[in-house]
Structure 1
Amino acid sequence: MKISREIKTAVLVLSGIALFIYLFSYLKGEDLFTDKQTYYTEFDYNALSMSSPVTIRGNKVGKIEDIRYDFETGKTRVSFSVNPQLEFSKNSTIRLYETGLMGGNALAIIRANDKDIAKPGDYIPSEVQPGLVTTLKNNFSGISTDLDSAIRSADTLMTSINAMVVDESAGSLKKTIAELNETLKSFKNLSNSIQEVIATNDEKIASVLDNFDKTSKDLSELSKEIKEAGLTETIDNLNKTLVNAQEMLSAIDNNEGTIGKLLNDDSLYNNLEAASKEMELLLLDIKLHPARYRRILSKKEIPYQAPAKEQKN
């Protein structure tokens, strides 16, 4: 069957028109071959465009289909479509939020935790999330007031500092700065003098450091020799001896043992003193009456007679 030229031309024209419609829809973000479900929401003002996306947790799941002004309610009615695979509750919230500092808004689906699944054509409540630019815009008046106050305070401070610097009185800041400059110059001269002294006596300083190094080495060797000689053990033994001596002195002080009783008991001293006196009298009596003690060798008892001094007493 032979197709006429007119039929071929008509098919070609219709194909071009269909391709143009598809490309135009594709550029608008619409896919003619994809099923979609449309929902509705409302806002007090319009901050969206036909290319604004619909997201859930940051992922694009749909787009704005239509934006219209409702003359009865005075609100902006927005219809949007999402992927049919997405299911969300009818009690969810459609949030209008800013996508960046350079402008641009989008819709986000904030899911509710219930099983009342929304159906195409349902109305979903909305809310507006204030963005950074909006917040700065609302607070700009307060920020500008605070900034103006800070600038005025800074100007007052600079005026006061200027007055202090310009003051030519005896205690002025300018005189203080000059004295500080002279002090710094003195420190600089002192530093130069110290550097000259160090440079002049460099060899002597090096010799002193060498001697100190040698002395420290000798002390180290001496301490090593003392350690090897067993000085630590000697000190430990001396410490033990001192502890024993302290315990012995403590026992003597507490009347423990013979020495403690001899040193601390007064009766022994009194007895020794009495015995000493009696011994003194005995020796005196022997010296004065030696014949009296002959009875020790004699069988006849000789009676005792007190000395003449004792008889008079």
Structure 2
Amino acid sequence: MKRNYRELKVGFASLIVLALFYWGFGFLKGRNVLSSTLNSYYVTYSNISGLQKSSQVSINGFSVGKVLDIYFNEDPKHRGELIVEFTVEKQVYFSKNSIVKIASDGIMGGKSLVIVPSYQGDKATPGDYLKGEVGVDLFSKLDPLQVKMESAISSIEIVAKRMSDLLDEETITELQSSIKKINTVLSSVVSTSQSIDVLVKNNDDKLNKTLSSVEATSYNLKAVSDSLAKVKILSISQKINKTVANLEGITSGIATGEGSLGKLAKDEDLYNNLEAASKELEELLRDMKEHPKRFVHFSLFGKKEKKYKKTKEN
């Protein structure tokens, strides 16, 4: 009897150990076998970025479940995609339009699922497939910055090497000498500026008087130039008026018949006589061109001049 009782206790303890082992194994996988308050949902990814089973599932930073299983999609149309099954406590509410993101779970690089809840639309029911996205973690953000930093460091190293090659002992000595000369020049400039300040302060009254004299002189010159301009303009206007008066006298004399131009303009007989004389002179010149022998007689041997006989043409 005692032996049977002992065997019964050993068997009962073994069952308890097996139950605890099964519960712990399920808990690590995200399934609480002692609790029926969990719902399972699914999400599909082309790349899970290191997500593992039993990874944490959270909403607004609060843990609400775990990743239960990860396996490949057996549908030929979606070959290569991964299906992630995760559990969420029943009292958590979100709609089918919610998004499940794979996010970084700390600096150590662990991954977790983050549900971005949406409350628009129908309520998500156990077994629904939700939309999945892969979030950008800290290290992926730092990768471009790391590349830029490495490029900047390499550029700095190249510049430093070139500077070290350029700045030999002779160059450094020359630079030091140049800096000393620059310091000397700057000291001289400072001394000169101080001397100028002292000179200006000592002669402040004289400079003010000189500037006042220059201003008065410029004002007087302006007045003189304005007076000369007025006198010159007055003289020119008087000459123009005199010339206009003379022209008016000449034109009025011509209009009244005074002087040669006036008589020529007013005396029609004189004009007719001049016109007739010019016509006779023109006929005489034409006759001399056509019959020059009538007017010029020349002979080397003293030939007697023939008497002119008038022809019909003449």
TM-score normalised according to structure 1 size: 0.49
Bigger Rg over Cα: 2
TM-score normalised according to structure 2 size: 0.49
